[in-house]
């Protein structure tokens, strides 16, 4: 079966750095996406990795290792507005997005 | 900036009734999707649509559900004979072939 695992909840301090991990087992791989979702709102796109390595986008970076079935999202200089759920999703061989359950990130002052 | 729009934002219906959720995807996108998210749970794929036909559907997308692109702009999800467990947020998304999916704001469906 297809499976995406990420921690259920993480807590971090404003101004700090946090790393959210995602491991996946899917039938085929055509890219990995990270989305941010605030409560009651739609997911919004953060990053996309299809090749191994690190993609940096301002305060957010995402890393992929296809051989390990592993990705992480790194958030730097945390702000209170970063409190949200972070969703890892993998596009499989049918180009269907398989979603993780999301990691709820709580930022404390 | 182009965006996906959905109507209504909130739909309340009685069990057994039919509902139609509407979406206007981004105009130059070719792939359209419907997702469901039950409160506090993960996003679940329902169906993808390309070239005027369903390209993929999940186990959730049974005979109760149907999708249609009635004209060049709208993309609809019809749920027949709604059940209590259909209460959820329904998100429409669209994309071009290789890019990320852009989500609409969602329709909150409440079945009483």
What's the gap in Å between the CA of A32 and the closest CA on chain B? 10
B102 vs A: CB within 8 A: yes
Confidence band of A7 (pLDDT split at 50, 70, 90):
very high
More confident residue, A84 or A96: A84
Nearest to A101 among B42, B104, B105 (CB): B42
What's the gap in Å between the CA of B15 and the closest CA on chain A? 23
Report the C-alpha gap between A90 and A23 in whole angstroms: 10
Q: Extract the tokens encoding A55.
A: 């993609």
User: For A37-46, A88-97, B99-108, which range has the lowest pLDDT when averaged over its residues?
Assistant: A88-97
pLDDT at A1 over 80: no
Report the C-alpha gap between A102 and B82 in whole angstroms: 27
Across the interface, do A99 and B100 touch by the CB < 8 Å criterion?
no
Chain A environment of B103 (Cβ under 8 Å): 42-44
A50 vs B: CB within 8 A: no
Interacting residues of A12 by C-beta distance below 8 A, sequence separation 6+: A18, A75, A78, A105, A106, A107, A108
Q: Which residue of A has its CA nearest to B31?
A: A95
Across the interface, do B45 and A97 touch by the CB < 8 Å criterion?
yes
Confidence band of B2 (pLDDT split at 50, 70, 90):
confident
Handedness of CA B75, B81, B84, B85 (dihedral sign): negative
A4-31 b/e with 16+ CB inside 10 Å = b? Answer: bebeeebebeeeeebebebbbebeeeeb
What pLDDT does residue B73 have? 86
What pLDDT does residue B102 have? 94
Interacting residues of A93 by C-beta distance below 8 A, sequence separation 6+: A26, A27, A28, A29, A30
Kindly state the average pLDDT of the residues B51-63.
91
B87 vs A: CB within 8 A: no
Confidence band of B72 (pLDDT split at 50, 70, 90):
confident
Kindly state the average pLDDT of the residues B59-78.
92
Across the interface, do B56 and A33 touch by the CB < 8 Å criterion?
no
Give per-residue pLDDT as tens, A24-83. 999 899 999 999 999 989 999 999 999 999 999 999 999 999 999 999 999 999 999 999
Across the interface, do B56 and A96 touch by the CB < 8 Å criterion?
yes
Across the interface, do B43 and A95 touch by the CB < 8 Å criterion?
no
Confidence band of A92 (pLDDT split at 50, 70, 90):
confident
What pLDDT does residue A93 have? 86
Q: Which residue of B has its CA nearest to A4?
A: B42
Q: Extract the tokens encoding A47.
A: 């990053």
Compute how many other C-beta atoms are within 10 angstroms of the C-beta atom of residue A48. Answer: 18
What pLDDT does residue A19 have? 98
Across the interface, do B43 and A43 touch by the CB < 8 Å criterion?
yes
């Amino acid at each position: 079966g297809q499976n995406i695992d990420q921690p259920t909840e993480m807590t971090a301090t404003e101004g700090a750095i946090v790393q959210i991990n995602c491991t996946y087992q899917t039938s085929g791989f055509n890219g990995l996406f990270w989305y941010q979702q605030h409560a009651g709102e739609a997911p919004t796109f953060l990053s996309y990795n299809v090749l191994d390595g690190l993609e940096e986008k301002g305060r957010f970076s995402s890393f992929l290792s296809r051989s390990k079935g592993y990705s992480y999202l790194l958030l730097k200089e945390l702000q209170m507005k970063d409190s949200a759920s972070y969703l890892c999703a993998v596009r499989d061989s049918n180009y269907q997005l398989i979603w993780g359950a999301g990691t709820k990130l709580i930022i404390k002052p | 900036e182009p965006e996906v729009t959905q109507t209504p934002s909130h739909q309340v219906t009685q069990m057994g009734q039919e509902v139609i959720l509407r979406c206007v995807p981004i105009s130059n996108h070719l792939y359209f999707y419907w997702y469901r998210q039950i409160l506090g749970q993960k996003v679940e794929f329902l169906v993808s649509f390309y070239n005027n036909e369903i390209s993929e559907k999940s186990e959730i997308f049974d005979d109760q559900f149907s999708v249609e692109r009635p004209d060049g702009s709208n993309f609809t999800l019809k749920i027949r004979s709604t059940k209590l467990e259909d209460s959820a947020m329904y998100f429409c998304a669209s994309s071009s072939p290789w890019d990320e999916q852009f989500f609409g704001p969602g329709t909150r469906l409440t079945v009483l």
